[in-house]
Amino acid sequence: MPTSASDAVFAGSIPELYETRFVPLIFEPYAIDLARRIAALAPAHVLETACGTGVVTRALARALARALAPDAELIATDLNQPMLDHAASVGTARPVIWQQADAMKLPFGDARFDVVACQFGAMFFPDRAHAFAEARRVLRPGGTLAFNVWDRIEENEFADVVTDALALVFPADPPRFMARTPHGYSDRQTIANDLARAGFDAAPHIETVAARSRAASAYDAAFAYCQGTPLRAEIEARSGATLAEATAACEAAIARRFGAGPVDGKIQAHVVMVAR
């Protein structure tokens, strides 16, 4: 499923809303999981790409602080400077080098890192095989690329409900960001094929991991999706309903499905580990 140029734009108020609303909703359990897997490899030099507001970076910093020597290197990069600025402002348990960088053209020498990590960023890469090839280039022989991607939208209940609700609000031109990009790279064979095209000879280990997404209310979940992601730009670009009205429609749909109080829905992702 092709992505749009606007799908990777996290600017304006989105970084703060993303961090305060969206990260607790769906990202934290997978950040802890990925950091645990990486720390078990005891790497001395770690590169994170597409770090966003730093949820994995912080989990890695905590995990690596326990597992590694104080001088172990952790570099966190992102294409979007506003996201990187917000990540750096939050702070970490151990020193982190924050650097703007494009995962499609990494500014690092060959065989520099023991691990390249990426949490829910591969879906945004315009050429995934090329980005994976760049990760492979900067990995030392025997190093590991570790990343995760969301499973199909039907396995992620809040995202699915929000997408269906917006299709009713904007029937002539439904906003499809969630299905198109965050949940648009879920086929395991496609992922394996892209890694092979990138030069990885070893078969990837792909594990599908289910978790729970919880919010204090249906409004909190709807607000996170509609106003804390690039879905916001798609809503605002359409006529027929305001951002507040679209958010309210999604709130109502979530409440009908999950109740009016605290809400709890399934989320599911693939965790991929592949050796260079």
Q: From the CA atom positions of the chain, what is the Rg in Å?
A: 18
pLDDT at residue 13 tops 80: no
CA–CA gap between residue 246 and residue 145 (Å, rounded): 38
The predicted pLDDT at position 18 comes to 65
More confident site: 115 or 90: 115
The predicted pLDDT at position 33 comes to 96
The 10 Å CB-count burial string (b at 16+, else e) for 231-266 is bbbbbeebeeeeeeebbbbbbebbbebbeeeebebe
The predicted pLDDT at position 115 comes to 97
Share of the chain above pLDDT 70, in %: 91
The predicted pLDDT at position 4 comes to 52
Stretch 124-142: mean pLDDT, rounded?
Answer: 97
Share of the chain above pLDDT 90, in %: 79
pLDDT at residue 67 tops 80: no
In this prediction, residue 15 has a pLDDT band, given cuts at 50, 70 and 90, of low
pLDDT at residue 169 tops 70: yes
CA–CA gap between residue 22 and residue 9 (Å, rounded): 16
Give Cα 4 to chain centroid, integer Å: 16
Burial of 107 (0-12, 13-18, 19+ CB in 10 A): exposed
- pTM, two decimals, is 0.90
Stretch 172-184: mean pLDDT, rounded?
Answer: 96
**81, 107 Cβ separation under 8 angstroms:** no
Question: Pick from 184, 205, 182: which is nearest to 274 by CA?
Answer: 205
Query: pLDDT digits over 222-274, tens only?
Result: 999 999 888 999 999 999 999 999 999 999 999 999 998 999 999 999 999 99
The predicted pLDDT at position 16 comes to 66
The predicted pLDDT at position 36 comes to 94
The predicted pLDDT at position 9 comes to 45
Stretch 199-218: mean pLDDT, rounded?
Answer: 97
Query: pLDDT digits over 179-194, tens only?
Result: 999 999 999 999 999 9
The predicted pLDDT at position 230 comes to 87
Paired with 268 in beta bridges are 210
Domain residue ranges in the chain: 5-275
What architecture is the 5-275 domain classified under in CATH? 3-Layer(aba) Sandwich (3.40)
Q: Beta-carbon neighbour count of residue 92 at 10 Å?
A: 20
Strands (E), 110-257: 113-119, 139-150, 205-215
In this prediction, residue 58 has a pLDDT band, given cuts at 50, 70 and 90, of very high
Both tokens of 80, joined, read 């979007």
